Amino acid sequence: MSGVAVMGSGSWGTAFALTLCDAGNDVRLWARRIEVCRAVNTEHRNPDYFPDLELPPTLTATDDPQRAMAEADLVVLAVPSQTLRQNLTGWRLPETAVVLSLAKGIELGTGRRMSEVVAEVTGLPDERIAVLTGPNLSHEIAERQPAASVIASTAHETAALVQKICHSPTFRPYTNTDVIGCELGGATKNVIALAVGMAVGLGFGDNATASVITRGLAEISRLGRALGADPHTFSGLAGMGDLVATCSSPLSRNRSFGEELGRGRSVAEIAGSTRQVAEGVKSCTAIRALGSAHGVELPIVEAVVRVIENGEPPGEMVAHLLARAARPERDET
């Protein structure tokens, strides 16, 4: 049994905490709001994200980050990408714990992946840092539906340790040492899911969505190769697996956000109507910047940025993508 702190009690933090309990660990959840802590500790519920789900009675919650992390062997970071730096800056991590990032985003302004933010803020060596990614829609995980996942760390031993800690009867993690590819896959698929959602919202069918998913995978792979990722990662769970799950599922916040855009609502309207984070809305700009800095063409990401940042109508985005110069499918220059 390991002591695990899950820092963040949103959808994924809560669902993953449940998985960690199922895997036999002693799990403490950090929530910002005391009411959430009380509900977890006394009613075994998270009223904000899973009001109808009974959480394991062994799961406890606190609003004190240091209490949550006290003597933890593993600290799981389950806050949004754009707040991770600020959160980490205010926390004192346990001496020897491994840190596992769940966030799927790229930091605005710096272009850093989440493991890079963790290393920069905490000074931890790479072998104490891991990331978790793959096709893991939190509601399905919370219902204990079967799923596979990827734990990536540059140190295989670290990935294997975390794999062992979170392997439950319904959750099957694989290891990978390609942290760059795993994080880029997780962050960029959110932007492609926004584009797929827009296509759905505009009323287009499966040909359109399959085309965006497939060309989206080409973009993710192109960017990954330029940034030093292993191309094989993108045909695995962190690449195609997560892309397909996110782009196909009405449970995905990114796809749903895109769908609303396709129906004509504005970014501000949609963002104002949900407490849930759709990471692609912020990360798209950072990912476009990474592409530009490395000379990588990312037409779908670029098109999403124009809709999100400039308010371009999604219909124009489609026309623009279709009017691009014809090219061979495998011309990846």
Ligand X SMILES: NC(=O)c1ccc[n+]([C@@H]2O[C@H](COP(=O)([O-])OP(=O)(O)OC[C@H]3O[C@@H](n4cnc5c(N)ncnc54)[C@H](O)[C@@H]3O)[C@@H](O)[C@H]2O)c1
Active site residues: 189
The answer to whether 252 is annotated as binding is yes
Residues 99 and 119: their CA atoms lie apart, in Å, by 10
Interface characters, 134-163, with ligand X (x: CB under 6 A): --xxx-------------------------
Interface pick for ligand X out of 104, 112, 189, 255 (rule CB under 6 A): 104
Site for ligand X in 69-88 (CB under 6 A): 78-81, 83, 87
Q: How many chain residues bind ligand X (CB under 6 A)?
A: 24
| Smallest gap from residue 252 Cβ to ligand X (A) | 8
Nearer to ligand X, 179 or 208 (CB): 179
Residues 294 and 290: their CA atoms lie apart, in Å, by 6
Nearer to ligand X, 254 or 318 (CB): 254
Residues 159 and 173: their CA atoms lie apart, in Å, by 10
Residues 152 and 182: their CA atoms lie apart, in Å, by 7
CA-based R_g, the chain, Å? 19
The answer to whether 273 is annotated as binding is no
**Secondary structure letter of residue 234 according to DSSP:** G
Site for ligand G3P in 243-282 (CB under 6 A): 245-246, 252-254, 279
Distance from the Cα of residue 143 to its chain's centroid: 19
Nearer to ligand G3P, 73 or 107 (CB): 107
Selection from ligand G3P, ligand X, none that 221 binds (CB < 5 to 8 A by kind) is none
Asked if residue 29 lies in contact with residue 6, where contact means CB atoms within 8 angstroms, the answer is yes
**Secondary structure letter of residue 96 according to DSSP:** S
Q: Is 61 helix (H, G, I), strand (E, B) or coil?
A: strand
Q: Is 305 helix (H, G, I), strand (E, B) or coil?
A: helix
The answer to whether 30 is annotated as binding is no
Return the structure tokens found at 298.
């990312």
| Smallest gap from residue 102 Cβ to ligand G3P (A) | 9
Selection from ligand X, ligand G3P, none that 32 binds (CB < 5 to 8 A by kind) is ligand X
Interface pick for ligand G3P out of 81, 190, 209, 285 (rule CB under 6 A): 190
Residues 314 and 156: their CA atoms lie apart, in Å, by 43
Interface pick for ligand X out of 100, 245, 277, 318 (rule CB under 6 A): 277
Residues 68 and 30: their CA atoms lie apart, in Å, by 6
Residue that has been written with the tokens 């800690």 in this structure: 165
Nearer to ligand G3P, 2 or 149 (CB): 149
Selection from ligand G3P, ligand X, none that 291 binds (CB < 5 to 8 A by kind) is none
Q: How many chain residues bind ligand G3P (CB under 6 A)?
A: 13
DSSP 104-161: --B-TTT--BHHHHHHHHH---GGGEEEEESS--HHHHHTT--EEEEEE-SSHHHHHH
Interface pick for ligand X out of 4, 5, 6, 13 (rule CB under 6 A): 13
The answer to whether 331 is annotated as binding is no
The answer to whether 11 is annotated as binding is yes
322 Cβ contact partners less than 8 Å away, ≥ 6 residues apart? none
Residues 280 and 297: their CA atoms lie apart, in Å, by 18
Selection from ligand G3P, ligand X, none that 22 binds (CB < 5 to 8 A by kind) is none
The answer to whether 138 is annotated as binding is yes
The answer to whether 225 is annotated as binding is no
b (16+ CB within 10 A) / e for 172-191: ebebbebbbbbbbbbbbbbb
The answer to whether 280 is annotated as binding is no
Considering the rule CB under 6 A, would residue 9 count as an interface residue with ligand X?
Answer: yes
Question: For binding to ligand X (CB under 6 A), which residues are involved?
Answer: 8-13, 32, 49, 78-81, 83, 87, 102-105, 136-138, 276-277, 279
Residue numbers in the known binding site for NADPH are 11-12, 32-33, 49, 104, 138, 253, 277, 279
Question: For binding to ligand G3P (CB under 6 A), which residues are involved?
Answer: 104, 135-137, 190, 193, 242, 245-246, 252-254, 279
